Each structure stands twice: as structure tokens, then as C-alpha cells.
Amino acid sequence: MRFIRVDMGTKKVQVEAVPDKYLGLGGRGLISNLINDWVPPRCDPLGTENKLIFAPGLLGGTRLVNTSRIAVGAKSPLTGTIKESNAGGTFGDAAGRLGITAIVVEGRDSDNGLSVLVIDREGRARLEDATALRGVRTYVLVEALFKDYGPDNAIMCIGPAGEHSLRAASIQSTDTKDRPCRAAGRGGLGAVMGAKGLKAIVMDRRGDIADAIADPEGFDRAAKAFAKAVRSNPFSRDVMPNLGTAGLIAPVNAMGGFPSFNATKGVFEGWEKISGEHMADLLAKRGGRTGHKGCSQCIIQCSNEFVDAQGQYVTSSLEYETIWSMGGMTGIDDLDIIARLDFLCDDLGIDTMSTGVGVAVAMDAGYRKFGDGQAAIELVEEIAAGTEFGRMLGNGPEAVGKFFNHHRVPIVKGQSISGYDPRAMQGNAVTYATCPMGADHTAGNLIADYVSGKLDPLKTEGQVEASRNSQIAMAVVDSIGLCVLASAVLATPEGNDAFVAAINAKLGTRMNPDALNGMGIKVIKAEREFNRKAGFSNKDDRLPRFFYEEPLPPHNVVVRISDEDMDKTFDF
Amino acid sequence: MKINVKLFSMLRQCVPDYDPESGVDIALASQATVADLIRHLNIPEDRKPVVTWNGRILKADDKLSDGIVVQIFQPVAGG
């Protein structure tokens, strides 16, 4: 239970015990509380006062499956709000194994230098000069770092986009095959890392000094029961290993909720060509694979390795949100183009979702034609070239929309929506509008409720309550470090019981599920408190006007949740 | 009545030599329901099939109509 505090101004690295106040917190819950307590709410997100925090979940580094997420947070330069974004790969598990509760990166390099933070097998940390790595893209970067520091490491790093402090820059995380293809993509946290002068964190993943578990036997029992629940759930057992998150493309289109051509249509005519089923067939023929294990401790294996027609690696993992943003939104129905765009974004260190939506906004404004894949690649390459348009695109869709004076920019609090149109899924409208971190794809996504028939996506009734419950539940999941795809089993009694039992066994507590909900509420309260102090109010919990005014085919609906109802989302 | 069925995810394995482009044509008695269709296709219950038509999720007792194209999925969650 240690904080590693890194002052980028003085280059001092200190290890300190976790203050009592923060014990029992992890991941998003810890980050949100630390930022609310420590970061001046009106600070410049790219200035010295902001802090960039990396925290494994409360159960990171334990035997509980699918708990290797690493949460990253700061005041966001994209949204101006508090922000937590989490990534898969190997870093969260490595941090948990070293008993690291959080890495807090403070200040900024006053000499415009560039450093790498290295954390060894005993958990000792040091800064090393990395000016020779300036401007290096992430795939070449991690190859150099693994060569210098050895293969048994996990790496989180930025590419050129982060170094240039572009507001949609990501922090990339290495997967089980040492590729920087997992991302804490949202909120522009890569820009914060770049502004501080930190190029990468290299952490030994062989640590054996994890925090103690209060009841090891109880924990093992709960962990086994939880794994059994994950293995028997049709979503995590059937859909994910065979199709990955791309398996969502068919059902979301079938429901008329796949925002296409910059959110002017709810069904993409070419969706079968970019579906998970098509990708799985294509990769089987080419020698690529689905069912790839991208993250430590994962038994779902939703990842894939996308290869070209010659069987050569293109990218990993091609996910639903990227296929949506780079495909549906831009009108591009060619998986090979989309895969190249995914790789390009990972290599430059920029969020695929914001970037795809930014390209779509530019196309909608007439700058390029919808469906022109080559044009999309050239536009994203402009981010690397540092052209005027490239810098705008790298700053996210809001910047692109302002440049073109285009009214249809699907963002909330500066961050793009995800691949679920809020008009066809009214509860997701509530989540996009009210999430303390801007529009988000994991914070309270109700697609499972809709597909199961529990909730009618087109009616207004029950949406606010469902969004509230889902946002609270996800605040807990993100604090534990559990993968959102494994969290689907929390809807089953056996999955939820095992999850609660594991947390209790770890902490030596007897919390019931209601107490866990209380944990989630506290997280959201801390986030909203920070935002209020930063100048946000309920007036910011709104969608862009076009979602209320332009009906989305095929259902021809607009968002019908009233402002008053939006404001009831967090009436606690 | 005759309907066309498009299968997704692992449900494609429930019909031998399933062709994803054309789907599969199924003949059912008039007044047949969604539950009848699932039984006809021998989709195991633990695969939790979800049937959609015309942008809507159908319920087990919803009646089907001649000539429609339905899509059948497995449950999904967001990510």
C-alpha cells in the first residue's frame, strides 16, 4: 500500500505510505478522491498544478480474473472536468503485484526535458533521461524500451500526439505480446503526460510483494466462483472470444442505434462488411485470430490480431468503438482501412474514438467525402505531420467543428459520444449528458438492458433510473479494476455474490451489495464536487441541440428526456 | 408462413452450412411466435437468443408475419 510520487520539476521520486483516508480505495475511486482533494479545480490541465495519477484497481494483482485494468486520471484538457480513463494490458496487474496503490506524477519538467520512469522488481522507482526518444511513435518506442530494460516489463507511454499536448492524446499500454495497443484513450490524458515531460513508465511485471489479502481462503473460493460465472455467461463465453466487442455491430445496427455518417443515420448500410462476424471469418482465412488474450488475468479473451491479405500484422485489437468511429461515422465499410487507422492512432498515441468522430465531422462539413478511406488515412497522418488541420483533429471533434462552423458535433463536455446513438437509446442520452467525465462508452451504457428486453430504448420511462444505477455500478467496477466485459456477469446472482465476496475477503469486511453501491455513489459525488468547483453546473449536463432537433432514421426519433429529468439523475 | 432468418455470433453454428449472406428460409405455421421460431431452429436455451425485427427487440410471445426478415443474436453488453 504505497504511493510513488514523482515530481517532474525537481526530478525527485518518493515512496510514501498510503494515508488512512485512502485505504480501501483503488482505481477510479482512488483517483477521483485524490484529484478532488489535491488538484486545484480551476488549474490549467497542462500546467504544473495538475496531477496525473495511475492506479490499479482494488483487486489488481490478485487472482481474481479480469482485474488487470489500470486507471489513469487527471483534470482533463479535453473536457475541463475530472477524468478517469482505464486501459487493459499488463500494467495494472504489474502494479498490483508490486503493492503500488498509485503513481502520482506532479509538476512539469521546467527544462522541456523528457524522461522515463522506471520501476524495478522491488518496487523502487527512478527517472531516467529520455530526450533521445522525443517524437518516437509508440511501436518503435516500446521496442527500444524493452531492449533497454528487458522483456519482463509492462509499459505505459505516449506518442507524438501526447508530446505535442494534443487534447485527444491517449496513453498507450502494452498487451501480453508487448505491443502498445491498449489505450487509456479518453479525455486527453496523454497530453497531460506529455506536458509533464514523461514519455513512458516501465514497470517490472514479476513483482511478488502484493498487498496482503485479509481472508486468503475466502478470496480463493470467491475467485473460483467468479471465474465460473464468467465462463458460463453466454456473452463472455460465446460472443466475446469469437467476435470480441465487434460482436456489437450487428445488434446495434439491428436496433437502429449505430450512429453513422456523423450521426445522421442509425443504420449503416455497409455494416455487415464491418461486423464482428465478417471480421472473424476474414481473420480465420488470413491467419489472424480472434480469441486472443490481450490482458493479464483475462479468461474472456476478446482481443484479436488483425492481419492483412498477406497475413502480416496490422493491429490489435480492432474493437467495436473504433470500427464505429472510423467506419460507421465516416461511412467507410472497409475493415482493412479501419484497421490501418486503428494502428495509426495507437502508434501516434491518440484516441481512436475522438479521432474518428473528428474525421466524420470534417467530412460532414464537406472537407472530404464520406466513405473515402484514403482521405481518412491522410487526415490522421496530418496529426503526425503537425499541420494546422492535424493539430485541430488531434484536439478532438469540438476543435474540428469550431473550425468549420459546423453545428453537428456529437460531443458532451467536449468529448465525443460512443457508438450508441442517444436518440435510439434514450438512457444512453442520460449517461452521455450527466456523466461527470463527458460522453463515455463505459460509464453507464444500457445496451445490455435493451438487448435483454428489460428496458425499451425508445421510451423515456425508466431511463434516468437505469442510467443512474448503471453509472453507480460502473463507478464500483472501475474502482475494483474489473474489465467492463467481465462486469456483465454482475447481472447474475452468482456473479454478483462472488464479486462482493471477493472484495470482502480482500478487505476483511462484511459489506453487502448496498454498501458497494454506496462506494459508487461516493465516487460520483467526489467527481461532481470537483466539476462544480471547476465551474460546471447542471447546464453542462446537456446534449448538443441537434440530438433534440434532428430525428434519427430509421426510428425517426429525437432525444426526449427533459432537462428536469436529466437533473434528477444524481439526486443524492 | 415463410420468414427469412439471419443468425449472428455463435448462433450461426445452429444451422448446418449456414450462409451469412442469404440467411436461412424457415416455414412456420401461421400465427407462429418468436418462441416457436427458436424451437424450430433448435437453438439451445443457454445461448439466450434475442430476436429483432424492424429495429425492435421481440418478446417470446410476439407473433411473426409472413415474408419478414428477422435477426437473431446472443446477449451483448457494452464496451
Q: How many CB atoms lie within 10 A of CB A269?
A: 12
For residue A437, give the C-alpha cell.
Answer: 467525465
Residue A376 Cα distances to A101, A164, A255, A524, B6, angstroms: 40, 21, 27, 37, 32
**Taking a C-beta distance cutoff of 8 angstroms, is the pair A32, A25 a contact?**
no
What whole-number percentage of chain A has pLDDT above 90? 98
Interchain CB distance below 8 Å, B50 and A453: yes
Q: Is B79's pLDDT higher than 80?
A: no
Provide, as residue numbers in chain A, all residues whose Cβ is less than 8 Å from the Cβ of B76: 235, 239, 247-248, 251, 447-448, 451
* pLDDT tens digit sequence for B24-76: 999 999 999 999 999 999 999 889 999 999 999 999 999 999 999 999 999 99
| Smallest Cα distance from A565 to chain B, Å | 24
* pLDDT tens digit sequence for A305-354: 999 999 999 999 999 999 999 999 999 999 999 999 999 999 999 999 99
Which of A234, A446, A452 is facing B46, going by the closest CB pair?
A: A234
The C-alpha atoms of residue A248 and residue A254 are separated, in whole angstroms, by 10
Pairing of β A12-17 and β A52-56? unpaired
As a whole number, mean pLDDT of residues B8-37 equals 95
Which of A238, A254, A554 is facing B9, going by the closest CB pair?
A: A238
Interchain CB distance below 8 Å, B79 and A247: no
Q: Virtual CA dihedral for A166, A322, A402, A188, nearest 10 degrees?
A: -30
* pLDDT tens digit sequence for A516-530: 999 999 999 999 999
Q: What is the DSSP string of A324-337?
A: IIIIITTT---HHH
Cα of B68 vs its chain's centroid, Å: 11
| Smallest Cα distance from A555 to chain B, Å | 8
Which of A266, A441, A554 is facing B78, going by the closest CB pair?
A: A441
**Taking a C-beta distance cutoff of 8 angstroms, is the pair A102, A25 a contact?**
no
Top-confidence residue, A459 or A572: A459
Interchain CB distance below 8 Å, A447 and B78: yes
Asked if omega into B22 is within 30° of 0 (cis), the reply is no
Interchain CB distance below 8 Å, B9 and A487: no
3 state DSSP class of B62: coil
Nearest to A24 by CA among A184, A210, A205, A211: A211
DSSP-assigned letter for residue A478 = H
Task: Provide the residue count of chain A.
Answer: 572
**Taking a C-beta distance cutoff of 8 angstroms, is the pair A167, A220 a contact?**
no
Provide, as residue numbers in chain A, all residues whose Cβ is less than 8 Å from the Cβ of B46: 234
3 state DSSP class of A150: coil
The C-alpha atoms of residue A320 and residue A317 are separated, in whole angstroms, by 10
**How many inter-chain contacts (A to B, CB under 8 Å) are there?**
100
Nearest to A226 by CA among A539, A500, A534: A500
Q: Is A247 on the interface with B (CB under 8 A)?
A: yes
Interchain CB distance below 8 Å, B77 and A448: yes
Provide, as residue numbers in chain A, all residues whose Cβ is less than 8 Å from the Cβ of B56: 255
Name the one residue in this structure whose C-alpha cell is 445490455.
A448
Q: Virtual CA dihedral for A548, A393, A250, A470, nearest 10 degrees?
A: -60
* pLDDT tens digit sequence for A197-209: 999 999 999 999 9
What pLDDT, on a 0 to 100 scale, did the predictor assign at position A191?
98
Q: Is A451 on the interface with B (CB under 8 A)?
A: yes
What pLDDT, on a 0 to 100 scale, did the predictor assign at position A59?
98
* pLDDT tens digit sequence for A377-410: 999 999 999 999 999 999 999 999 999 999 999 9
Q: Is A172's pLDDT higher than 90?
A: yes
The C-alpha atoms of residue A478 and residue A56 are separated, in whole angstroms, by 10
φ and ψ at residue A202, rounded to 5 degrees = -110, 120
Provide, as residue numbers in chain A, all residues whose Cβ is less than 8 Å from the Cβ of B73: 250-251, 254, 451
Q: What is the CA radius of gyration of chain A?
A: 22
**Taking a C-beta distance cutoff of 8 angstroms, is the pair B24, B16 a contact?**
no
Interchain CB distance below 8 Å, A320 and B79: yes
* pLDDT tens digit sequence for A487-506: 999 999 999 999 999 999 99
| Smallest Cα distance from B46 to chain A, Å | 7
**Taking a C-beta distance cutoff of 8 angstroms, is the pair A139, A180 a contact?**
yes
Report the DSSP beta bridge partners of residue B19.
Answer: none
| Smallest Cα distance from A556 to chain B, Å | 11
The C-alpha atoms of residue B46 and residue A377 are separated, in whole angstroms, by 43
What pLDDT, on a 0 to 100 scale, did the predictor assign at position B78?
80
* pLDDT tens digit sequence for A447-482: 999 999 999 999 999 999 999 999 999 999 999 999
Residues contacting residue A156 through CB under 8 Å, at least 6 positions apart: A54, A70, A72, A87, A91, A171, A172, A173, A174, A184, A200, A201
C-alpha angle B51-B53-B58 in degrees, rounded to nearest 5: 45
Name the one residue in this structure whose C-alpha cell is 458535433.
A409
**Taking a C-beta distance cutoff of 8 angstroms, is the pair A127, A117 a contact?**
yes
* pLDDT tens digit sequence for A10-68: 999 999 999 999 999 999 999 999 999 999 999 999 999 999 999 999 999 999 999 99
Nearest to A234 by CA among B57, B49, B35, B8: B49
* pLDDT tens digit sequence for A63-93: 999 999 999 999 999 999 999 999 999 999 9
* pLDDT tens digit sequence for A282-319: 999 999 999 999 999 999 999 999 999 999 999 999 99
Interchain CB distance below 8 Å, A451 and B57: yes
Residue A572 — pLDDT band, cuts 50, 70, 90? confident
Q: Which H or E run contains A416?
A: strand A415-416
* pLDDT tens digit sequence for A259-280: 999 999 999 999 999 999 999 9
3 state DSSP class of A427: helix
Provide, as residue numbers in chain B, all residues whose Cβ is less than 8 Å from the Cβ of A245: 79
| Smallest Cα distance from B57 to chain A, Å | 7
3 state DSSP class of A119: strand
Residue A539 Cα distances to A433, A486, A543, B33, angstroms: 10, 34, 10, 47
Residue A514 — pLDDT band, cuts 50, 70, 90? confident
Identify residue A317 by its one-letter amino acid code: S
Residue A561 — pLDDT band, cuts 50, 70, 90? very high
What pLDDT, on a 0 to 100 scale, did the predictor assign at position A396?
98
What pLDDT, on a 0 to 100 scale, did the predictor assign at position A201?
99
Sign of the CA dihedral running B29, B32, B36, B41: positive
Q: What ipTM is given for this predicted complex? A: 0.96
